[in-house]
Amino acid sequence: MNHNLISYKILICFLLCCFITSAHSSEFITDKEDGAGDNEPTRVHDQVEDTSASKSNAEQTKVNESLGEEDNLTHVINPVPLGFSVSELTDVENETQSISKKIACSNEIIENWDEKSDSPFIKIVDGAQLNSFLVHNPNITNRTSVAPCVLVYFYAPWCHHSARAAPFMNALPRAFPSIPMLATNSMKYHSVNTQYGVMGVPTLMLFHNGRAVSRFNGSEYNLDSFSSFMTRSTGLEPVCQLDVTYKDYIGPLTPIVEAERDYMLLLAWSFILFALICVAVTTGYSRRFFDLFLRRRHQEAHEHVD
């Protein structure tokens, strides 16, 4: 009996030990699995952080490189201001460079210049006189060499713009007495238009050594515009205050538009009338009208007799 009881106790102890051992093993496995599950997200998160960090570093490096290239380009290429194109800036630079080379005008009075007044004035000349004043010296090859300058005003008496600019042209010689100023009727002397490239009136051109070097392209015909044109071309400043007196409205150039007979217009109307007469004679309508006129005259004569 005692032996059986001891056997039962040993068996129970053995089973209890097995149960405790199995329970401990299961807890160890569970803890290990839980620990592995916790470490995997941490590892993935670390990998994601490492990847994002590397990407951000690469992007930052690219940005720095691009900024470095932009800095280099900024030093090489000048920035273009807003509202301007490269071609426009090039034109402005060329114009600035051309203006910087002023025309060198001498203070000597040109040959054949007969000044009959104490104050400078504009002289009206014909085509032959204009050619005699604009004499070219072959020894002078560029505009920066000192040579006589002449300002020539091409006008037409019937042109309203020419008449409007006349008082200002009469006053301009007082501001620039060292430069002779001439005026010629380009509609009367047509040869000067072809010779000097005059396309319309009024036209204001500056001649240096007998050659045209500058043309007034402004839209406003007043004393300030003409004076600015002279200063911009020659570098000379007005020697007196720019003003227009009552004498400037008298002459030499008159501000009154002259009504001239246009012979070309008369010739055109004559040609039109001649063409109409030829058409009427060569067609049958003229004979019909003539017969109708004779018939009516005959009827009126019979009525008068009755």
245 and 266 share one domain: no
Residue 42, domain member (yes or no): no
Q: What is the reported pLDDT for 227?
A: 94
Residue 301, domain member (yes or no): no
Distances from the Cα of 15 to the Cα of 4, 11, 22, angstroms = 16, 6, 10
Q: What is the reported pLDDT for 306?
A: 56
Label residues 225-249 b or e (16+ Cβ within 10 Å = b). Answer: bbbebbeebbebebeeeeeeeeebe
Distance between CA atoms of residues 173 and 119, nearest Å: 8
Residue 61, domain member (yes or no): no
Do 264 and 173 touch, CB atoms closer than 8 A?
no
221 and 285 share one domain: no
Backbone angles phi, psi at 150, to 5 degrees: -135, 130
In which domain, by residue range, is 268 found?
261-293
245 and 135 share one domain: yes
Angle at the Cα of 134 from the Cα atoms of 138 and 214, rounded to 5 degrees: 90
Q: What is the reported pLDDT for 85?
A: 41
CA 291 to chain centre: 67
Distance between CA atoms of residues 287 and 117, nearest Å: 70
Residue 101, domain member (yes or no): no
245 and 127 share one domain: yes
The structure tokens listed for 42 are 């941490």
Averaged pLDDT, groups of 10, the chain, 306 residues long: 55 63 47 44 44 52 48 37 38 43 74 57 91 89 88 93 94 91 91 90 93 91 94 91 90 86 80 83 73 77 64
176 and 235 share one domain: yes
Q: What is the CATH number of the domain that holds 166?
A: 3.40.30.10
Give the Cβ contact number of residue 95 at 10 Å.
Answer: 10
Q: What's the total number of domains in the chain?
A: 2
Coil, helix or strand at residue 36 = helix
137 and 212 share one domain: yes
DSSP per residue, 91-116: HHHHHHHHHHS---B-SSPPTT----
Q: What is the reported pLDDT for 45?
A: 44
Q: What is the reported pLDDT for 274?
A: 86
